[in-house]
Structure 1
Amino acid sequence: MAPITDPNTLANHHSVVTEYTTIDVALDFKASSVSGDATLKLKVLKDGVGEVVLDTSYLDIKCVAIDGKETTWKLDDRKEPYGSALRITLTNKPKAGDSIDVMISYSTTEKCTALQWMTPDQTSNKKHPYMFSQCQAIHARSLYPCQDTPAVKSPFTISIRSPLPVVASGLSTGSKKFQAGTPGTLVYTFQQDIPIPSYLFAVASGDIASASIGPRSMVYAGPEELLKCKTELEGDTEKFIQIAEKLVYPYPWTTYSVLILPPSFPYGGMENPNITFATPTIISGDKSNVDVIAHELAHSWSGNLVSNGSWEHFWLNEGWTVYIERRIQAALHGPQYFDFSSIIGWKAFRESVELFGADHEFTKLIVDLKDKDPDDAFSSIPYEKGFNFLYYLDRLVGREKWDKFIPHYFKKFHQKSLTSFDFKDTLLEYFSSDAEAAAALKTVDWEEKFYGPGLPPKPDFDTTLVDVCYLLADCWKSIETTQFEPKPSDIADWGSGQLVVFLEAITDFEKPLTPAVVEKMKDAYKFLDSENAEILSRFLTVALKAKDEKLYARTAEALGQWGRMKFVRPLFRLLNDCDRELAVATFKKNDNFYHPICREAVRKDLKL
């Protein structure tokens, strides 16, 4: 494997590489800061290396020691969006193969982009403050000094002092009273023996309770929400694990748990090892959104064990994960659900391509992120374009042969990071002795697949589960010129996924519905009463495209309840088109509610 080039790190990881990470910090809720020590055990890769260069962003560095002795260091001027390189002098000029321990004493600042500190008023029970991290893609450097690139992995020992319960991306090794600190503070300790990249380091602390949802799974949530979360997730989680194990290989992380975060969490889920951080929007009371957990679980193999070497190859993480997620759905619900989910995904894919523009760099499978922020490239494209490429290869060589390649790929790159070119080489090498498969793979235009912008040819998906949705949508398309009278029984036996497909079909109409027709839909189908954010957000999209002024305020209300960017960003863009004054006022009102990543994205969307 060639050395991985990552344009989004300032670290000199080709000269020295992190072998082990120890985090020993305290949380200060009053100051909204994390302070303590990060110790990196580094292996020297070249003779005569004169310095260690680490990634930092908005960190307050106190002192640096090498093998227990203080050394000289300096912070470079900030380079947006990558932060400030921390340059640590190596006076002894170590040789290749040597190990050195670098300890940095530091604290985070108010500009830390990885953390959201929440006041008691921002939490559900309004009793205690709350803090959680989100390090993907390049925000770990604002939480601790590190080689902030997915090309570098290390085991972790984690020790966190806090007055409130703590969870982190490792196996708990217990908690004990901390004698020398603030009274009432406990030390929570965790061990992560499987090497992980910096972006998978995670911590949350707050009024957190837990309950079992399976033989090797727990759910963590606020005390008031715990029973509802347990009811939603128990039973399915273990089924997901067992199906994935048959497809890939046995789950190696010991436990798989889920933390249901406050509603400002900006993503559907984040695949932090051992404990997925998840949005509360997956708890809809009818289990209709628990497949988000199938996705995050699939990351246990794709992304966490086998990682993209840089964010330019992000599709390797997400394309594989979506593919495994849909194989889990097919095994659990039937093969039609693989196609059903793929059809929903294709629409999100198409909309992302339309938003960027069909020739945009960020619509390619491999993107150029030199001097760019990986967050700006984030969309459904690496998920769905990656999935569709893998599904294309699946059909090209045949499912039976493809299913034997899957475990081979994940075993070969177990605990490693790779690029798209490593994937290609491995695929062609694996099938080189199979004349039929090798001949099929010779037809692949790799240049086009990797670097062609826009949409690929759409697969011929099985539309059995969506045809009825399109049929009803057509009735609404012609409602003003036909005798169609909507009634609740139209959708009475539909699953939530079918409701989503129906509403998305409506949003695709060249001519939007009129406000009067939207009001008729609202009254007949009671979409505003839905606890399911997937359904409510789509209905509000229909309403905004129709310029239904009666639902502008309801949209603004929803934007103050959700922080998940999947819902927030499209709704803000649409509300901005309808009523910019309300959109800007809604954003400013909820500014502190949103996570820093979401806040910055919406600010750019609204051109503020």
Structure 2
Amino acid sequence: MRILSTALAAVSLMALAAPADAQKITKPAPILTTPEARDVWTHARPEIARVTHVSLDLTADFAAQTMRGTATLDVLAAKGAKEVVLDIDDLPMSITAVTDERGRKLPFAIGKRDAEIGSALTVQLNGAKRITIAYASGAGASAMQWLAPALTAGKKKPYLFSQGQPINNRSWIPTQDSPGIRQTWDAKITVPADLVAVMSGERLDGAKGVPAANGMRSFRFRMDKPVPPYLIALAVGDLAFKATGPRSGVWAEPGQLDAAAHEVGDVEKMIDAAQALYGPYRWGRYDMLVLPPSFPFGGMENPTLTFLTPTIITGDRSNTDVVAHELAHSWSGNLVTNATWSDNWLNEGFTTYFENRIMEAVYGAERAAMYADLDWDGLVKDIEEAGGEAAPTTRLHGDPGATAGQLDYFKGSTFLRTIERAVGRPAFDAYLRSYFDRHAFQPQTSAGFLADIRKNLIKGDKALEAKLQLDRWTYQPGLPENAVHVTSATLTQVDAQLAAVKAGGPVSAVKPQGWATQQWLRFLNGLPRQQTPARLKELDETLGLSASSNAYVRSAWAELAIANRYDPALPSIRAFVTSVGRGLLIRPVYEGLAKQGDWGKPIAKRFFEEARAGYHPVTAAQVAKIVGAGS
């Protein structure tokens, strides 16, 4: 628990006013006292009383779609503090009692629900240092997706998984749900005996768990390093495990296991490359879980157990950048965490840059250049769709959740790549390694990062300061003129074939054999949005777009077909959106349909109503908003 003491020194995450009868727990950490460190997405007041450890004892009830049991919280309170304020989503959550360490009932109150951040659960401490909350989540918990057997790969057993980021874990764990309030945790999870539970922590009972009463069995886990609460993750299903190396392995449904293990087979090389760049991997094992198609993201960096979408399984390892990305989060995001969601670029921008360095180390400079070049395309597109260079949503630091598209990823990584080019790779690598060491297991802000890089890398060099334009990159919209654009020779070759097609040449002249996902995307996204039905038919039949097994290709093809109201593609589009739940791939499809007015919007609504049951609640809510469907 030595690391925990470091995190406790940062209890004054937010510069909020304390009541007169309560003093601060400790002197605020300098980088966390700025207004930027105030998290507007939590009700918690950690400068008065903060959660340091969460202990869960929960049973998964698949029939009722609820997690039921207790959460015991260790609370560190300032002298004179009378209460602790927690985050919950009070629509699905039912709280029956709150008690102290001696079993005495403690008064509590649930505040009015805010549509964005849920409710405050305020518990009167009466001197307690540990409180136990008896509760049940509900079927509407935004973090949880309960899948019927038909929505799994095996089609025989139900499945449950959670997705906590950014603030969804408050729907099944009553705690202080802010990325800057790091907590250790342990859990006992009881599930039907024919299912397996996995979590983002050390397994204590092996793969089979321990038999429990009434046809159930229990699994215990622990995380002895303080993590942001969004990283507490759970999955339950018909799961099997296969090792991919001495430190790593993959969990999946039995029918997917071999393909999944093959796809992520380079993970040990990635771990070695990451450690050589930025220091030791500090989380023990690095296992992965391939989820059902409804998982809403490409991956989720849950410590010790990355969650992965099955859409990366294409047989050619061309999408292993997703694995590299989630592994990189073990340093940027999990080890050093954005204190608030206004600074998500500290999480995703750093990680996208680090991911690219891992890919270069494992697969070579040209493959890394291909990913970086395609990211540049995404950055330009995001800025254009946001409204141009002056659009406020093109800032890195801004309102939480308001950044345009994937700008946190693309602009953030381009910022770091620009610094690298200016100071030289050896100097920047040395700086980043020391940065992760200095701030390990602590929250960070944009202001804190800028202060750190000025102190430890720029060191008063006025010419370098002016060259880097740090404040403009961080706080101003648009793309500074010093941005570094890495170009790919591989994608340049694709561009030549694309140019020939754009000039009217036959599609049959395109030679896509052996193309990786990134080459397909460069070609398809580079085609003019206006096409004749004959040309679309030629593209589809020649390149096999509607029948592609690559989800990225299907998504890009759907966007092009929809832009031209190409009815023959609709059966393929319907099959795609009803079988894939990854938001990155299906949101553009629904957005394209919605923009097509009287033709597209009814189609979007019809497809969504058919697909909705198979989407994670987060994705379902996003798509409902796009198509104008009721929640």
TM-score normalized by structure 1? 0.93
Determine the C-alpha separation between the residues in 1 that align with 2:57 and 2:514: 53
Instruction: Structure 2: give runs of 5+ residues left out of the alignment.
Output: 1-29
1:27 to 19, 38, 60: 60
Which residue of the partner structure matches residue 469 of structure 2?
445
Which residue of the partner structure matches residue 287 of structure 1?
317
The offset of 1:493, in angstroms, is 4.2
SS in 2 for 1:347: helix
**Superposed counterparts of 1:3-14, under 5 Å:** 3=33, 4-14=37-47
Contact 2:187 2:221 in 1 (8 A): yes
The offset of 1:327, in angstroms, is 0.5
Which residue of the partner structure matches residue 423 of structure 1?
449
Counterpart of 1:397, as a letter, is V
The offset of 1:546, in angstroms, is 2.8
**Superposed counterparts of 1:134-173, under 5 Å:** 134-163=163-192, 164-173=195-204
Distance 1:539 1:52, change over 3 A: same
SS in 1 for 2:455: helix
The offset of 1:333, in angstroms, is 2.1
Determine the C-alpha separation between the residues in 2 that align with 1:362 and 1:159: 42
Which residue of the partner structure matches residue 412 of structure 1?
438
What CA deviation, in whole Å up to 9, does each residue of 1:330-351 have, x standing for no partner? Answer: 1122223333211211222233
Counterpart of 1:23, as a letter, is L
Contact 1:207 1:222 in 2 (8 A): yes
Indicate yes or no: 2:322 matched with 1:314: no
The offset of 1:407, in angstroms, is 0.6
Counterpart of 1:496, as a letter, is T
The offset of 1:388, in angstroms, is 1.0
Which residue of the partner structure matches residue 61 of structure 1?
95
Distance 1:438 1:410, change over 3 A: farther
1:536 to 542, 554, 558: 554
Which residue of the partner structure matches residue 118 of structure 1?
147
SS in 1 for 2:590: helix
Which residue of the partner structure matches residue 365 of structure 1?
396
Determine the C-alpha separation between the residues in 1 that align with 2:391 and 2:172: 32
1:270 to 283, 292, 300: 300
Counterpart of 1:403, as a letter, is D
Distance 1:37 1:503, change over 3 A: same
Which residue of the partner structure matches residue 383 of structure 2?
353
Determine the C-alpha separation between the residues in 1 that align with 2:600 and 2:113: 37
Distance 1:255 1:438, change over 3 A: farther
Instruction: Structure 1: give runs of 5+ residues left out of the alignment.
Output: 93-98
What CA deviation, in whole Å up to 9, does each residue of 1:94-126 have, x standing for no partner? Answer: xxxxx8111111110122100000111211222
What CA deviation, in whole Å up to 9, does each residue of 1:505-534 have, x standing for no partner? Answer: 11xx3x522121111112222223321111
What CA deviation, in whole Å up to 9, does each residue of 1:16-70 have, x standing for no partner? Answer: 12221111111000000001111111111x3211211100003111111122321
2:592 to 574, 587, 606: 574
The offset of 1:475, in angstroms, is 1.4
SS in 2 for 1:292: helix
Distance 1:122 1:595, change over 3 A: same
**Superposed counterparts of 1:141-220, under 5 Å:** 141-163=170-192, 164-174=195-205, 176-179=209-212, 181=213, 183-220=214-251
Distance 1:72 1:543, change over 3 A: same
SS in 2 for 1:225: helix
Which residue of the partner structure matches residue 495 of structure 2?
470
1:254 to 281, 284, 291: 284
Which residue of the partner structure matches residue 96 of structure 1?
none
Determine the C-alpha separation between the residues in 2 that align with 1:256 and 1:210: 13
Distance 1:63 1:51, change over 3 A: same
Which residue of the partner structure matches residue 52 of structure 1?
84
Which residue of the partner structure matches residue 230 of structure 1?
261
Return 521-530 or 401-410, whichever deviates more: 521-530
The offset of 1:478, in angstroms, is 1.9
Determine the C-alpha separation between the residues in 2 that align with 1:595 and 1:395: 40
Which residue of the partner structure matches residue 81 of structure 1?
116
Contact 2:386 2:404 in 1 (8 A): no
Which residue of the partner structure matches residue 612 of structure 2?
591
SS in 2 for 1:258: strand
Which residue of the partner structure matches residue 365 of structure 2?
335
1:562 to 574, 577, 580: 580
Indicate yes or no: 2:416 matched with 1:398: no
Counterpart of 1:539, as a letter, is W
User: Which runs of at least 4 in structure 1 moved beyond 4 Å after TM superposition?
Assistant: none
SS in 1 for 2:160: strand
Indicate yes or no: 2:274 matched with 1:244: yes
What CA deviation, in whole Å up to 9, does each residue of 1:126-162 have, x standing for no partner? Answer: 2111100000001010011010001111211111000
TM-score normalized by structure 2? 0.89
Which residue of the partner structure matches residue 5 of structure 2?
none
Determine the C-alpha separation between the residues in 2 that align with 1:290 and 1:340: 13
Determine the C-alpha separation between the residues in 1 that align with 2:150 and 2:270: 36
Determine the C-alpha separation between the residues in 2 that align with 1:494 and 1:205: 36
Indicate yes or no: 2:66 matched with 1:37: no
The offset of 1:178, in angstroms, is 4.5
1:105 to 103, 124, 134: 134
Determine the C-alpha separation between the residues in 2 that align with 1:488 and 1:238: 39
Counterpart of 1:563, as a letter, is G
The offset of 1:368, in angstroms, is 1.9
Counterpart of 1:61, as a letter, is I
Determine the C-alpha separation between the residues in 1 that align with 2:478 and 2:551: 28
Contact 1:470 1:502 in 2 (8 A): yes
Distance 1:528 1:86, change over 3 A: same
Contact 2:251 2:290 in 1 (8 A): yes
2:486 to 455, 461, 464: 461
1:545 to 563, 588, 612: 563
Contact 2:458 2:464 in 1 (8 A): no
Give the share of equivalent positions with the same residue, in percent. 32
SS in 2 for 1:592: helix
Indicate yes or no: 2:114 matched with 1:90: no
Contact 1:515 1:547 in 2 (8 A): no
Counterpart of 2:498, as a letter, is A
